[in-house]
Amino acid sequence: MRAFQQVDVFTQEAGLGNPVAVVLDGEGLSDAQMAGFARWTNLSETTFVLPAVAPEADYRVRIFTPSQELPFAGHPTLGTCHALLEAGRVSRSEGLVQECEAGLIPIRVETDGALVFAAPPAKTSACSRTAEELAALLGGGSVANPLLIDVGPRWLTLRLTEPGDMDRIQPDYPAIAEATRSSGWDGITAYAISSEGGVEVRSFAPADGIDEDPVCGSGNAAVGHHLRATGAESLTGESYVARQGRFLQRDGRIRVRIADRVEVGGHCISVIVGSVAI
């Protein structure tokens, strides 16, 4: 039996935010066993905690969707750290360092208990699809400044510019899946900025078996980089709180600070604590 938690991330209320499954004793599991268990949980991500290899790291994590392994993902980073802290396996006396395929991820605990990670350095490149093609994939909306932003997952990131666009779009999931496979993206993250400076985000990754990710840490990191790259940071400020998950009844809140390594954070709550036989 292996220690296990299921954690809702980017929320303080169970049943909201984005759930992640965390196996706290991943040592000795094969790649096939990890992938099989991730398919069984059928959550957007499942993580497995392993001893660190890098001397600077407190622990190592492997992250699986139901269909593939990821080098990094945001809400699994926070949920895994929360589970380890709650189980007393790491200390919150100072900053923590997570090791994953994308490198070393610094994590800190805020005074109110929220966790914050520094996202991997982003690689930004132009998108070969036109705004009109992307709007067709989303089923509407006015698309501006599409950019491919690689923060571990590779998000085609774009801004919706007209009031009501976020409520108006009707994503074509099969078409998005085909476009992501053919173009080498992991998915599409769309965001909108209200007249008051609030940010709302939606992330679509149907090629990974996730039509819409409830609340996506890496997608929000990509949005932070997109805001800076396109000059829209002036509309939100360096720090802001984003909303995601409203359309899936998983409403979450994400803290974002735009810096060289965009910081993403939020609260977590454990909803299942026990053990699993794998």
Domains of the chain, each with CATH number or no CATH? 2-117+266-276 (3.10.310.10), 123-260 (3.10.310.10)
Candidate list 45, 99, 200, 263, residue with the active-site label: 45
Q: Say what the pLDDT of residue 209 is.
A: 85
Nearest to 76 by CA among 60, 58, 63, 88: 63
Provide the residue count of the chain: 278
Confidence of residue 95 (pLDDT cuts 50, 70, 90): confident
* The overall pTM is greater than 0.75: yes
Mean pLDDT within 16-38? 97
- Measured CA to CA in angstroms, residue 225 lies from 88, 155, 164, 194 at distances of 34, 11, 23, 18
CA distance 241 to 104: 25
- Is-catalytic flag, 69? no
**What are all long-range contacts of 100-105, with beta carbons under 8 Å and residues at least 24 apart?**
100/60, 100/61, 100/62, 100/63, 100/71, 100/72, 100/152, 101/62, 101/69, 101/70, 101/71, 101/72, 101/152, 102/71, 102/72, 102/152, 103/72, 104/54, 104/56, 104/57, 105/72, 105/77
CA distance 111 to 238: 20
Query: What tens digit of pLDDT does each residue of 219-258 get?
Result: 999 999 999 999 999 999 999 999 999 999 999 999 999 9
Q: Is residue 93 scored above 80 in pLDDT?
A: no
